[in-house]
Amino acid sequence: MPRVAIIGAGSVEFTRNVVADLCSFPELAGQVTIALHDINAERLAYAERAAASIVRRTGAGHRVEASAERRPAVDGADYVINEIQVGGYRHTLMDFEIPKKYGVRQTIGDTIGIGGIFRGLRTIPVAVGIGNDLHELAPDALLLNYTNPMAMVPWAVYEGTPFANVFGVCHSVRDTHAFLARTVGVPERDVAFRTAGFNHQCFVLLFRHRGTGEDLYPRLREVIEADPEGLGHRVQRALERVRPLVPPPRRPGRAVPVRDRRVPAPQRGESAGLGADEGGPGRRPGARGRARLRAGLGDHPLARDRHRA
């Protein structure tokens, strides 16, 4: 019986979606043990009730367990889903408020920049502990990391533990496909996608109508251009989350080129930031990290393109 452990199961929205997905496959009926773990007893109890309710209402027949200790939850697991938020809401708020005092503005400070670093410093020790536990208790498990900062956390497991079978995952590809199809008014089942890249920065290389062969990107551009303050702004915010947009310092009164536009340079006392998640470019893993990444991926289905036309 496959064992799926969910670490940080008190993040109920994620837990509910994962359990619902597991219950949606009839070929898995009655075959899965869902092991929930959270350090917050109240949240864990709620997650257990929610998971059991989903299993019961769907008739999936899966077994649901709950443990306040991590090691019993991951012992013998085949899949481990990490969805922790170390420090909770209070510390996440500090990721924004402290940089804000020094003029650093962030859209979503959880991926790169100072907010991502703060979050990484809290999260990496716990992720390393999970990796060490899996090396000892479930060496063949697949660790699927949903926790941000997405690049830092799996990298820390690769480099800081003997356990290398870890992947950063996100629902962004699935949700982006649905959003794009909805935006151009075509049912998703009628759209062919080909998507490549890495988490939080994927690129849809092919966006085409299956029936007519029409390239749907021109239609998408028309919709975005017609709504610059809505969809256009949303596209910019998505880019700001993962790419530093800080211009070099300029003298007051001079213009700073940004993409195709020119905006006034920041005056004294203003923030130099034009967007979110300020910080330097991401570092590449070293040779050891790249080798372990390749070894970990191997021919695993997650390494293959599942979105071919």
Enzyme catalytic residues: 171
User: Cβ atoms within 10 A of the Cβ of 106, count?
Assistant: 24
* Cβ atoms of residues 272 and 266 within 8 Å: yes
Task: Write the Ramachandran bin of 30: left for phi over 0, alpha for psi from -120 to 50, otherwise beta.
Answer: left
Q: Residue 209 pairs with which residues in a beta bridge?
A: 191
Task: Determine how β-strand 261-264 pairs with β-strand 255-258.
Answer: antiparallel
For residue 93, give both structure tokens.
Answer: 């708020």
* Residue with token string 């009628």: 190
The Cβ of residue 231 has, within 10 Å, a number of other Cβ atoms equal to 16
Cα–chain-centroid distance for residue 74?
Answer: 21
Looking at residue 269, its amino acid is: G
Rounded Cα distance, 34 and 270, in Å: 51
Residue type present at position 280: G
